[in-house]
């Protein structure tokens, strides 16, 4: 019996010695295969808020260009009410992370228009995928642009089943519209909440609020931005709220606010930032 026991033990050790390397190799190989199917191009697609044109992010792009290690080409689209698209700018050959801005000819505020703009974003998105053949991307939305992205991800991204979103960053997105309440729910929020299960469960999302007094950025109430957690939490892989205070935190100043520019560089673009900026950004995170 003693000899048989040692044989069993020796066999188990040999089996583990063979199985463990095979397991680790298989796991690494699966990870490699998953990444191998990703296109080199992964654009950063930006959507402005209401009353803003395709030029809304010009100052942001200028700020990013001052410190970014790579130069991003810029393509701008404006979707007309009939679904036709006007283009300006271009994507440079071999630019794997171009900036693409999608704006709307009818850029008025209001839930009905936000719903239509999400449909128009889908029209532009399909045209971009068909032309540039990317299968993953990152997204940025300012103000109502964040709501448009959220609706698009909930309801329309599934119409492009081979395309995945890596990260979403919203800046001052009024998920509960103009309400300052912590309990009252607007019809816009109810719509976003209703379709929240359509959000990609592998998504990493960041919601930035700008405020000087933790009440408002002068246009969007802080509590309204905070309602985003009820939409994203438990639906996506990671959701993080970030609050930026101090100078230049008025609603229209936020996209080019230097703190937010550094957050975009680190968390949306995956650029290397100084240890000082990294620590500053880390202090602002609220998971």
Kindly write down the DSSP assignment for every residue of 188-240, as one continuous string.
Answer: HHHHHHHTGGGS-TT-EEEEEEE-SSSSBSSSSBHHHHHTHHHHHTTTSSEEE
Low-confidence winner among 66-75, 142-151, 158-167, 237-246 (lowest mean pLDDT): 66-75
**Residue ranges per structural domain of the chain:** 39-286
Separation CA 252–CA 237 (nearest Å): 30
Q: What is the band of 22 on the pLDDT scale with cuts at 50, 70, 90?
A: very low
Beta bridge partners of 207: 170, 241
| Res. 255: pLDDT tops 50 | yes
pLDDT digits (tens, 9 = 90+) for 47-62: 999 999 999 999 999 9
The radius of gyration of the chain's CA atoms, rounded to the nearest angstrom, is 22
More confident residue, 26 or 68: 68
Which tokens sit at 50? 């209401």
pLDDT band at residue 214 under the 50/70/90 scheme: confident
pLDDT at 248: 80
Predicted pLDDT of residue 37: 86
CATH number of 39-286: 3.40.50.1820
pLDDT band (50, 70, 90) for residue 25: very low
| Average pLDDT rounded to a whole number, residues 89-98 | 94
Please tell me the distance from the alpha carbon of residue 269 to that of residue 271, in angstroms, as a whole number.
Answer: 5
* The token pair that represents 137 in the structure block: 């991307």
Q: What is the bridge-based pairing of β-strands 74-79 and 136-142?
A: unpaired
Rounded average pLDDT over 2-6: 57
pLDDT for 275? 65
Among 36-50, 57-71, 162-176, the range with the most confident prediction by mean pLDDT is 162-176
pLDDT at position 23 is: 47
> Of the candidates 189, 187, 45, 177, which has an alpha carbon nearest to the alpha carbon of residue 109?
177
- Rounded mean pLDDT of 190-207? 98
Distances (CA, A) of 190 to 111, 187, 197, 213, 231: 11, 5, 13, 27, 9
Mean pLDDT, rounded, for 68-76:
85
What confidence score (pLDDT) does residue 31 get?
Answer: 45
Q: What pLDDT digit, counting tens, does each position of 100-109 carry?
A: 999 999 999 9
- Chain mean pLDDT for the chain: 87
pLDDT recorded at residue 53: 92
Task: Dig out the tokens for 236 from the structure.
Answer: 């996506």
The pLDDT of residue 246 is 80
| pLDDT tier at 228, thresholds 50, 70, 90 | very high
Of the listed ranges 75-89, 149-163, 172-186, 211-225, the one predicted with least confidence:
211-225
Write down the pLDDT at residue 105: 97
Question: Could you tell me if 72 and 95 are in contact, meaning their C-beta atoms sit under 8 angstroms apart?
Answer: yes
């Amino acid at each position: 019996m003693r000899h048989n026991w040692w044989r069993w033990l020796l066999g188990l050790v040999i089996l583990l010695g063979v199985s463990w390397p095979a397991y680790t190799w298989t796991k690494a190989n699966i990870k490699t295969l998953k990444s191998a199917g990703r296109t080199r191009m992964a654009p950063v697609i930006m959507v402005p808020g209401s009353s803003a044109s395709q030029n809304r992010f010009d100052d942001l792009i200028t700020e990013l260009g001052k410190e970014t290690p790579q130069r991003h080409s810029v393509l701008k689209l404006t979707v007309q009410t009939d679904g036709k698209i006007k283009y300006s700018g271009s994507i440079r050959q071999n630019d794997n992370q171009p900036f693409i801005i999608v704006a709307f000819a009818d850029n008025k505020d209001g839930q009905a228009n936000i719903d239509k703009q999400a449909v128009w974003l889908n029209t532009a998105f399909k045209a971009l995928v068909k032309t540039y053949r990317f299968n993953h991307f990152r997204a940025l939305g300012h103000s109502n642009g964040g709501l448009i992205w959220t609706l698009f991800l909930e309801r329309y991204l599934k119409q492009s089943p081979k395309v995945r979103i890596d990260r979403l960053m919203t800046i001052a997105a009024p998920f509960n519209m103009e309400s300052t309440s912590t309990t009252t729910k607007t019809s816009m929020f109810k719509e976003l909440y209703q379709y929240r299960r359509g959000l990609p469960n592998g998504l990493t999302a960041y919601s930035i609020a700008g405020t000087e007094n933790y009440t408002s950025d002068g246009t969007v109430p802080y509590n309204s931005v905070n309602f985003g957690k009820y939409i994203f939490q438990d639906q996506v892989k990671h959701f993080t709220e970030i609050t930026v205070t101090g100078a230049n935190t008025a609603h229209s100043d936020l996209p080019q606010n230097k703190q937010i520019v550094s957050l975009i560089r680190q968390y949306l673009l995956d650029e290397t930032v100084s240890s000082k900026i990294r620590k500053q950004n880390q202090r602002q995170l609220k998971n």
